[in-house]
């Protein structure tokens, strides 16, 4: 296996434990990797506002992938590329949520909007820069209906960050595409990367990386696509990845 020069980490269900913390062992492993010259990169469905505190905590000034690849950052606060979602698509996706009575949220560059806090009047929706739309619904059949409708419209990259949600980005936007773009930018061969995740929005980068790692609690499709399965997010799985496979024990 090639030497790993870049490690792309999903956050929720992967790097973070169920209390939304980076464990001391995971934090120590990341710092050791950074000290060894390895680029450790967040690759998350979160918006940048919800990522920066963790980058600060870990002293990371490395690239970041946010909103499932909708934004690629040279380093915190230094944007390299943003792919916006059409406001008309956001309105159509919201109408679909309202028709089915499900919880929804949408990331714009100025924050997160949802069923309880939306943009009024409708013309103001056009003025915002949108990045991602999501649905949350525990009724599997209802979620599948929404997914099928959105799929039939075309123009979306459809994934999830948990079995009870759907996440939509513009076509071609994914963590995997963003990882490959970062590789080109940094002069790193994809075979020299590792990527870890637990959900369908991680599949593309797990397939694109030289070493794809699924968490112990990952969705089955992710485990099947991965080269290795790590301990879970509450068992320092990321420290295991870095110690065993990146720094070589």
Active site residues: 10
Helix (H, G, I), strand (E, B) or coil at 72: strand
Vertex 16 angle, CA 201 and 20, to 5°: 110
**Two structure tokens written together for 173:** 């936007």
Distance CA 205, CA 171 (A): 15
Query: Which residue is listed with tokens 């799985």?
Result: 237
Distance CA 241, CA 230 (A): 7
In the chain, what's the furthest Cα-to-Cα distance?
A: 57
Say which residues have a Cβ less than 8 Å from residue 28's Cβ, sequence separation at least 6: 239
Task: Report in angstroms the alpha-carbon separations of 232 from 54, 83, 128, 199.
Answer: 19, 32, 38, 13
């Amino acid at each position: 296996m090639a030497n790993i020069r870049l490690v792309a980490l999903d956050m929720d269900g992967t790097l973070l434990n169920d209390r939304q913390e980076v464990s001391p062992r995971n934090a120590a492993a990341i710092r050791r990797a950074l000290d060894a010259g390895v680029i450790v990169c967040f690759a998350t469905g979160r918006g940048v506002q919800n990522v920066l505190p963790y980058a600060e905590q870990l002293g990371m000034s490395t690239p970041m992938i946010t909103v499932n690849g909708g934004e690629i950052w040279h380093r915190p606060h230094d944007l390299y590329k943003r792919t916006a979602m059409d406001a008309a698509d956001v309105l159509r996706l919201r109408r679909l949520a309202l028709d089915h009575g499900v919880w929804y949220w949408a990331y714009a560059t100025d924050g997160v909007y949802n069923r309880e806090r939306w943009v009024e009047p409708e013309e103001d929706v056009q003025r915002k820069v949108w990045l991602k739309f999501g649905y949350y619904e525990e009724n599997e059949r209802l979620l599948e209906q929404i997914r099928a409708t959105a799929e039939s419209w075309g123009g979306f990259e459809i994934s999830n960050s948990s079995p009870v949600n759907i996440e939509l980005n513009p076509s071609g936007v994914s963590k995997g595409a963003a990882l490959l773009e970062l590789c080109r930018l940094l002069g790193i061969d994809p075979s020299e990367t590792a990527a870890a995740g637990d959900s369908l929005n991680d599949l593309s980068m797990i397939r694109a990386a030289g070493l794809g790692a699924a968490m112990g609690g990952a969705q089955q499709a992710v485990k099947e696509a991965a080269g290795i399965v790590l301990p879970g997010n509450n068992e320092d799985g990321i420290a295991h990845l870095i110690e065993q496979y990146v720094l070589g024990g």
